[in-house]
Chain A
């Protein structure tokens, strides 16, 4: 399949719309020359050149770190020399050692790997040119989406390819343990941050200073993931604010006149870690990253992972974004290394983080395959190729109307596009002799023991979870319309007033706020915008300021509502499970850790699936269960309590019952049989009458 020329089987050409493939010229030219070529990179105008070790020195000498050292000495009574040593250790552990030599080695290997893995790597060159211009005038923050380990390798490669200064990357500590790769990454610009360092004053000071000094001096573009970690579900994760706050603080405290943020959306046809993610979501622990693990992964190199689209979004000026939101002069009354961020600044950071995630979503390139996946999730018995063609074309129109960018060159027929995407994902689906597209699953084990049955269920579930992962690549396009659609679809009356509709929408947003990203305090706007879009495309009928329910039930509305079904079923099962657990100890709710709750809920779901009560294997995802618990906590359905340093959760029966009842109004909930599950010698009873 991998050919140098513009092979029609590749479905798309080197130039495609705004995109340009950067791999093709590498297939025909010398790799060595590419790795050794002279690089003339643009530099930040106010930058004072300094090598990585000087950055470390400057960090240790900084007011902030010196102040923190003094504080730690005071608090702990440790001698100053020892605390200084601690600080040195931290900065040594953290710092990158970006060097031209290492970059070339890195580029050389990386290019070989990328050529093996991917057909094409598409980049919007207009975005790159903007970055090139801005790098000279502004400190740059790169905020890519995070769906794969490949993300930061690709980003660095793109910057190498376009003769831009290589970014330094905030990486999690997991990589550091790897022998060769840990070294190579550090020398190619990765710096390592502990996942959590809560109240550690010294670590916090060193980390903040390390990031900020590089932003202020514009040594390199700084890259980090606003979602914090790789999304295992291919959905956007809610933004994290620690790194973001540290990165924006130099602007708030007027160390620098502005910062430019470049949101980057990286869309994969096929994700390298797809099956790893699936098992991880189901609770099979992820193997620790190690060099030998990577070598084992060589077999991955023989597979085809299709195309990657990297879209550099419109740069966002922090000064412009924060205009009218923050007053920087509030930091005039104390030394800048002491004072913390103001309320407004924290609020702005929160809104900004969400904004970036929404920009990410808007700039994602949607593949035909993700539409296929969305359709298959709703038709588990399979869909014929002919039917699928019709559905995909219908869905493409709908998604385009809702603002999605679909990877579908005008000159390609639906059949070509579909066949190409089915071929790429032959490990997930198959086409049988009747031309029916089906999910590949192992036949159920009927007569095995409990363990074998469990393994079989999990294997089947993994396939389902992978499929839903690809549906998730497109679900952000539909989420808000789907919330309105579901509210209408489940309405029993003739008409639905806009106020009632809004109330239903608000409930869903509260419920789903962890599974999907909504900008805080923007519900009303979101709702109105989505409503008018749906009305505009003729998906619903408004009569006298209310929804005419009967006239509005159509293909779009019912398709969109079904999209949310797996989530609501999952949430509903969780609620039922929580409610049943109070029967354990004489009406007093039993408190358990979140982990236990999720595990037990999963066991219950597995049982319900086996018995055919529910059909969505996605419900087994621990991510969904965790999101559900978070949402229930925020809605008052469960409470948290700390005992001996361990956090326990327990249901608030009254509130939780109301929520459960509410969920039941949106979907047809299955009748629950009285099921008993044997789990770690404990017995859980779900009462059907609940």
Chain B
């Protein structure tokens, strides 16, 4: 660390409103977190989420049962190191900064929302040159909105929720909603090949992208027109998409926009088993009638969702919940320890939504699925936003947890889910982790030829001396298993540093070589030396 210093120390902009609201050592807003109240129940503080301010009486029991958390065993707090930043205002600033970096041989690591889960922002320890973190948080303006072509031009640093909110004021949206959209940035989406929850209607980032400006050590790479499609050799956008800060900085982006949908409706389907659910999702994908979002949670996640249910003050709600449970488990004979739940989000005109709802529920019925109500659906989506906070609560009680994802062909989907879970369980056992790990997955996206599967994995590390290392080892085994099962290195998290070891296996020697050749041409001095993706050593760690 001693070789590193900052160009502009204590830059006031760094402390500007926006970042200061966020935690420095955990996920999300400072005012939003899970905590244990005086009645020894879990509550969620703040006012930002639907769950905020409520108590979840079932959660404590769930935590105890599934991962062996006990409130008497609190782990000592950990510290982390902060990095130094160069905060820039616009595209021209970036061009100048990169020119200077080339001139003085300074390393640049672009920084957007900082929501990476692949360690891609970590400074390589072996780097001897000065490292500048290029902070784009102040490049957060919408430059223009083109209603004729339905496009928006914005700077790279704009955060997802700000972009959507400002477009909403004009009656538009991009429809790109990754789970991190509260904190992740437009430039980051492009640089990591992001995927949004509602991709079924709006598409993933590569479908939304119309134009991008990319500042590299060789100059600015961009197309000269903003057209829907062209045939001009290999698409340079696809060099920029997913480049993970290894070749340059995204500064400005044009995305497609859509008028806001008049009708938005949640829904859910209860299946007797995860297998039925997967078959249903496969059929929905085959018939290409997926709603904006359709996700299938396995039983473990369903139970977790149930534990997150806030305390209800109303007798009627309690009564209705009881009735629903009775209907599904007793009358329909669903085993509460086997059933799986799909959450749905419909968007469109009222008529479109109604027609699609009908069609989806009809397909679901063929696979034994019963409509489970809008409330369950909405709670399912909320879960993905608050789960990161819950992880932070877990950290205080000896829980280490993370998520990882993959994409997989349909015929392999079920086997992959089952085998990865089994593998995780076995690796925990072999490492003598004394509490049962929490392992759950959901199918979060459907495509014509396959699906995206998202895993949560956590365990109680009381009695383990080096939990983070153990976690990483086990996750690495899980990725091996995923690849053996026909899954991919990633669906949308990217490669970063933690998945480099599988890149060569994924794209081949020639693939990595080609990426390296591009890098060598675009950045011969290795200014963008964050050591992600194809850079450096690829041998298995």
Question: A254 to B415, Cβ gap below 8 A?
Answer: yes
Pick the interface stretch among B92-100, B258-266, B396-404, B483-491. B483-491
* Cβ proximity bits A230-270 to B, threshold 8 Å, 1 near / 0 not: 00000000000000000000000011111000000000000
* Interface residue total, chain A, C-beta cutoff 8 A: 13
Q: Is the interface of A mostly helix, strand, loop or mixed?
A: loop
In the complex, the answer to whether A257 meets B411 with C-beta atoms within 8 Å is no
A359 at the interface (CB under 8 A from B): no
Is the pair B419, A257 in contact by a Cβ cutoff of 8 Å?
Answer: yes
- Contact check, A254 vs B426: say whether CB atoms are below 8 A apart: no
Cα distance, A255 to B412, chains bound together (Å): 8
Contact B412 A254 (CB under 8 A): yes
Complex CA–CA separation, A335 to B485 (angstroms) = 12
Residues from chain A with a CB closer than 8 A to the CB of B411 are 335-336
The CA of A332 and the CA of B481, in the complex, are separated in Å by 12
List residues of chain B with CB within 8 A of the CB of A328: 483-485
Complex interface: chain A residues within 8 A of B485 (CB): 254, 328
Q: Is A681 on the interface with B (CB-CB < 8 A)? A: no
Does any Cβ of B come within 8 Å of A379's Cβ? Answer: no
Contacting pair A46 B484 (CB below 8 A) = no
C-alpha spacing A329/B484, complex, angstroms: 4
Q: Could you tell me if B505 and A46 are in contact, using CB atoms closer than 8 angstroms?
A: no
Q: How far is the CA of A496 from the CA of B390 in the complex (A)?
A: 73
Complexed CA–CA distance, A328 and B486 (Å): 8
Q: Mark A276-294, 1 if CB is under 8 A from B, else 0.
A: 0000000000000000000
Question: Using an 8 Å CB-CB cutoff, how does the interface string of B401-418 with A read, 1 for contact, 0 for none?
Answer: 000000000011001101
**Beta-carbon contact of A254 and B486 below 8 Å:** yes
- B486 near A257 with CB under 8 A, answer no
How many angstroms from the CA of A554 to the CA of B500 in the assembled complex? 61
> What's the nearest-Cβ distance from chain A to residue B298, in Å?
14
Residue B423 lies at the interface, judged by CB distance under 8 Å to chain A: yes
B422 beta carbon closer than 8 Å to chain A: yes
Look across to chain A and name the residue whose beta carbon is closest to the beta carbon of B486: A332
Partner of B481, one of A255, A257, A331: A257
- C-beta contact mask, B504-535 vs A, less than 8 Å → 1, else 0? 01000000000000000000000000000000
Is there contact, CB below 8 Å, between A46 and B418?
Answer: yes
Q: Tell me the complex Cα distance, A531–B94, Å.
A: 72
Bound complex: CA of A293 vs CA of B412, how far in Å? 50
> Of all chain A residues, which has the CB nearest B481?
A257
Q: Which residues of B in the span 399-451 have a Cβ within 8 Å of any Cβ on A?
A: 411-412, 415-416, 418-419, 422-423, 426
C-alpha gap A256/B426 in the complex (Å)? 13
B483 and A257 contact, CB distance less than 8 A: no
Query: Given the complex, which residues of B lie within 8 Å of A46, measured CB to CB?
Result: 418, 422
Chain B residues, Cβ within 8 Å of A256: 415, 419
Residues of chain A with a CB closer than 8 A to B412's CB: 254, 336
Distance in angstroms from B43 CB to nearest chain A CB is 36
Given A255-B415, A257-B481, A329 contacting B422 (CB threshold 8 A)? no
Closest residue of B by beta carbon distance from A256: B419
Q: A328-B484, A331-B486 are in contact. Are A254 and B505 (CB under 8 A)?
A: no
Most buried by A among B411, B415, B416, B483: B415
Q: Kindly state the separation between the CA atoms of A455 and B415 in the bound complex, as whole angstroms.
A: 62
Would you give the shortest CB distance from B397 to chain A, in whole angstroms? 28
Cβ–Cβ contact B418 & A257, under 8 A: yes
In chain A, positions 313-334 with a C-beta closer than 8 Å to chain B are 327-329, 331-332
Q: Which residues of B contact A335 (CB under 8 A)?
A: 411
Q: Can you add 4 more A-B contacts, CB < 8 Å, to A257-B423, A258-B422, A329-B483?
A: A329-B486, A329-B505, A332-B483, A336-B412
A positions within 8 Å CB-CB of B: 46, 254-258, 327-329, 331-332, 335-336
List 12 contacting pairs A-B, 8 Å CB cutoff, sorted by A: A254-B416, A254-B419, A254-B481, A256-B415, A256-B419, A257-B423, A258-B426, A327-B505, A328-B483, A329-B483, A329-B486, A332-B483
Of all A-B residue pairs in the complex, the 8 with the closest CB atoms, nearest first, are A328-B484, A257-B422, A332-B486, A257-B419, A254-B485, A329-B483, A254-B484, A329-B484
